[in-house]
Amino acid sequence: MANIVLVYEHKAREMESILLIQYELRRRGHNVELFHTHELNRKKYIFNSPDVVVTPFLYGNAELDKYVFETFGRIKRICNLQWEQVYNGTSKQNNKRTPKENAKYATHICWGKNSYNRLMANGCINAKLTGAPHMDFLKKEFRTWYLSRDTLFEKYGLVRNNKTILFISSFSYLGLSDERMEEIKARADFDPYYFRDLTEKSRDIIFSWFEKVLIEQPDVTIVYRPHPGELYDDKIKKMCERFNNMKCIADESVKQWIVACDVILNWYSTAGVEAYFAGKNNIFLRPVPFPTDMEFEMFESVCTAMTLDDFVSLINDENKVEEYYLQHPLGERIAPYYLTDTSLSFVKIADEIERLINSDGDKHLCDKYKITKKIQSHIKYIAKELLYENWRRSSHLALTIIEKVVRLQEFVNYQSRLEQEKILPEDINLLETRIQAIYRDLGRG
């Protein structure tokens, strides 16, 4: 039996997949724990290190230090799930997205041949082609995974017989401070200020389109699915307050909403691939033209609404959208980025983790490891945890200290928002029941 830690970043994006991988590894006899990237309570790892750490991303020595070594110690067996593998033209030409330095010696999970070939060409000799685990949930073995439309709509107060339109938002740059934008600019391969401006202009026009449809077609419901990193701002709030047939819902997976809704709208989200795997057509909303070098290659020729008339016409004429994709098949452009076979990717990922367990790992990963960094990091997090927990309990001393230091105010506010990203025991209990049902159907016991 091995001790494995699955590190995750975004609950909405990763929860289903990592709980499925966790369940499979536990079924094989291993001890598997979950750990959020910004978890404050990490004292149990001061003197105890896991055998394997599975990360959500891993680009270089900075991530190795911050998300592995400083918490878990000297780890020679690391598997990178690489939750972002599809890039636009600018990102493809920039090596910031490709694991480098000692990080390249980890085991890197690849969804398709494009990612696998790119990593192998850059010296990531432990790249493994498994397919995307989140796409497993759209394969026939998982046909009973999702809530029925009736159950889902009753849960969220939606009208069952309305035409229900899902908008998959990518407006994660809205409301970001200039300070945060400067942090992004330092490591990004694009101009974040330009992208924020593009986001704001696009969102305002798209909302004006929504408004017209919501007024003129009361038998239409729009479900606004926010990006995991998106702030719930006043414009979204006011739209949902003004129209009872528009709802902003962050709960449930995006796949659940794709399966249940009638029309799928997209702006700039790779969740368009999940719609494809679910057998649903995407309509992309582009009221403001995108620079060619920021576009995803696989979405360069998709059914697009650039005007209000386009939008109204396409959401009301399914045949027009269907005809477009018959002439411009999306599957041909998706294939290089995602394996489209029928095998289950989560099983192959569990196999790769077990191969790691049975190996000596790769000593190159630890060339830059310094125990002093781990000690310093744990001291810092013990102090952070003490401060945050006292703030939550409204300790007079903690409140007094925080009120006088702006950076501490920012810390507790940020940490408070991150609580929404934590996978809770009730989440695990609910999904494990559903996973057990799938396993019975699969005959995996």
Q: Which residue has the higher pLDDT, 74 or 230?
A: 74
**How do the domains of the chain map onto residue ranges?**
3-136+342-442, 147-334
Nearest to 210 by CA among 287, 310, 311: 311
CA 236, 272, 87, 292 dihedral sign is negative
Residue 112 has pLDDT above 80, yes or no: yes
- How far apart, in whole angstroms, are the C-alpha atoms of residue 235 and residue 239? 6
Q: How many CA atoms lie within 13 A of 177 on its CB side?
A: 5
pLDDT of residue 88: 66
- Of the pLDDT bands very low, low, confident and very high (cuts 50, 70, 90), residue 91 is very low
Place of tokens 């200039």: 178
pLDDT, tens only, 230-277: 777 888 999 999 999 999 999 898 999 999 999 999 999 989 999 999
Mind listing the pLDDT tens digit for each residue in 40-58? 899 999 999 999 999 999 9
Class of domain 3-136+342-442: alpha beta
- Least confident range from 46-55, 184-193, 365-374: namely 184-193
**N-terminal to C-terminal alpha carbon distance within the chain:** 19
The answer to whether the 3-136+342-442 and 147-334 domains have the same CATH topology is: yes
Q: Per CATH, which fold does 147-334 belong to?
A: Rossmann fold (3.40.50)
> What sign for the dihedral angle of Cα 138, 17, 116, 9?
positive
Cα dihedral across residues 128, 115, 188, 175: positive or negative: negative
- The Cα–Cα gap between 271 and 100 comes to 27
Mean residue pLDDT across the chain: 90
Alpha-helical runs (H) found in 76-226: 89-92, 113-121, 149-156, 178-187, 192-216
Band of residue 24 on the pLDDT scale cut at 50, 70, 90: very high
